[in-house]
């Protein structure tokens, strides 16, 4: 190739890179330029939905009250379809995902999905961490985990435990409990924890692992009996409730989490603007107050800590889900 042509080609490449960089910077300055859509891959009313709405309120405070933000619920498929949907569109930062543990870390090791969590998404920040409460309907006639285990052993396969769907963390809690307590029961998957909770309240199933904030009011009203919490520590919302570890089931330790992400193909300046906005939301006293009312303590804020958290969750759960073979 002649020298002049080489110089021209290199100049063109440099110019294109510069134009792309300037374009991204301009996009960041103008962001948001239209409605922001936060995709929630589960039903309305559940913890994923609540986390998204708290996040949306925080973004409005940061960007301005006139900022248009809508929540789009895409329930079903353990969150996989909704998660995949977040990667469609213009990749300009106006389509966000309130992603969760199931579609991001639990299911990909055992089921083919059309994304790579760490390569296709740019983490913005963790917005929700909550252990589950193991709760039963009063008609089951038990008041402790030990009594439930005894009843399950005496009636193998007859007791029913609901979950938010195949491959979700509540399904995982089911299988860990089955393995550690050495009991057999029937697993009943739903589209969300809210759906399983409603059927439990109606007496159609016997038990669920459900979020603390959802179970607490029902337990206080006597509609459910809370038996244990699956966190490493007791929940600040239900301090009287022992952990599964305290009750002799240390491996039954799960928590549901949700965090904001955006397509990794989004221009870097826009991602940086979103990460800064999310950090502002996480450290906003108004946001923290709302989250604490749900028993949520986020831990270290920021995009980098969320990326590290996702990596740790993948490393922790992959050998477990592949051993349990959650289908």
Q: Tokens 């042509």 label which residue?
A: 5
Q: CATH no. for residue 162?
A: 3.40.190.10
**Quick one: 106 and 174 in the same domain?**
no
* Rounded-to-integer distance, Cα 119 and Cα 223, Å: 44
**Quick one: 120 and 148 in the same domain?**
no
- Per residue in 230-253, pLDDT tens? 998 999 889 999 999 999 999 999
- Per residue in 160-201, pLDDT tens? 999 988 888 899 999 999 999 999 999 999 988 889 999 999
Q: Tokens 């966190």 label which residue?
A: 231
**Quick one: 69 and 113 in the same domain?**
yes
Main-chain phi, psi angles of 123, to 5 degrees: -65, 140
**Which residues make Cβ contacts (< 8 Å) with residue 212, sequence separation at least 6?**
130, 131, 132, 133, 229, 235, 237, 238, 294, 295
Using an 8 Å Cβ cutoff, are 234 and 243 in contact?
A: yes
Task: Please state, in angstroms and as integers, the Cα–Cα distance from residue 55 to each residue in 46, 256, 286, following that order.
Answer: 14, 17, 11
* Residue 276 counted as domain residue: yes
Q: What token pair was written down for 105?
A: 């870390």
**Quick one: 53 and 202 in the same domain?**
no
Q: Tokens 């996040």 label which residue?
A: 55
User: What pTM was computed for the model?
Assistant: 0.81
DSSP state for residue 138 in the 8-state scheme: G
Instruction: List the domain range (segments joined by +) for residue 280.
Output: 10-130+256-324
Residue ranges in the chain whose pLDDT is less than 70: 1-27, 325-327
pLDDT on residue 103 = 95
The domain total for the chain is 2
Element (H, E) at 73: strand 69-73
Element (H, E) at 210: strand 207-211
* Residue 217 counted as domain residue: yes
Q: Tokens 């009991």 label which residue?
A: 183
**Quick one: 186 and 222 in the same domain?**
yes
**Quick one: 154 and 59 in the same domain?**
no
């Amino acid at each position: 190739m002649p020298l002049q042509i080489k110089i021209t080609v290199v100049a063109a490449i440099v110019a294109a890179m510069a134009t792309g960089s300037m374009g991204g910077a301009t996009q960041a300055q103008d962001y948001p330029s239209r409605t922001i859509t936060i995709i929630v891959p589960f039903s309305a009313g559940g913890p994923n939905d609540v986390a998204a709405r708290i996040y949306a309120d925080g973004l409005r405070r940061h960007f301005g009250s006139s900022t248009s933000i809508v929540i789009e619920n895409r329930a079903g498929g353990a969150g996989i379809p909704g998660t995949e949907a977040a990667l469609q569109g213009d990749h300009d930062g106006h389509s966000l995902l309130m992603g969760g543990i199931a579609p991001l870390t639990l299911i990909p090791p055992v089921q083919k999905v059309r994304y790579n969590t760490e390569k296709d998404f740019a983490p913005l920040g963790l917005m929700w961490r909550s252990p589950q409460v193991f709760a039963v309907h009063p008609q089951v006639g038990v008041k402790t985990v030990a009594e439930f285990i005894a009843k399950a052993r005496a009636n193998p396969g007859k007791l029913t435990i609901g979950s938010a769907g195949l491959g979700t963390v509540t399904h995982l809690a089911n299988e860990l409990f089955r393995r550690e307590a050495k009991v057999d029961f029937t697993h009943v998957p739903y589209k969300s924890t809210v759906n399983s909770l409603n059927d439990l309240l109606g007496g159609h199933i016997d038990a669920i692992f459900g979020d603390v904030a959802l179970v607490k009011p029902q337990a206080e009203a006597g509609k459910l009996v809370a038996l244990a919490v699956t966190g490493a520590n007791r929940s600040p919302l239900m301090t009287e409730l022992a952990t599964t570890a305290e009750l002799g089931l240390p491996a039954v330790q799960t928590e549901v989490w949700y965090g904001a992400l955006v397509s990794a193909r989004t221009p870097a300046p826009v991602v940086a603007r979103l990460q800064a906005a999310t950090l502002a939301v996480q450290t906003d006293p108004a946001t923290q107050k709302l989250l604490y009312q749900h028993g949520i303590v986020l831990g270290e804020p920021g995009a980098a800590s969320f990326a590290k958290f996702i990596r740790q969750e993948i490393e922790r759960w992959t050998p477990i889900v592949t051993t349990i073979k959650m289908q």
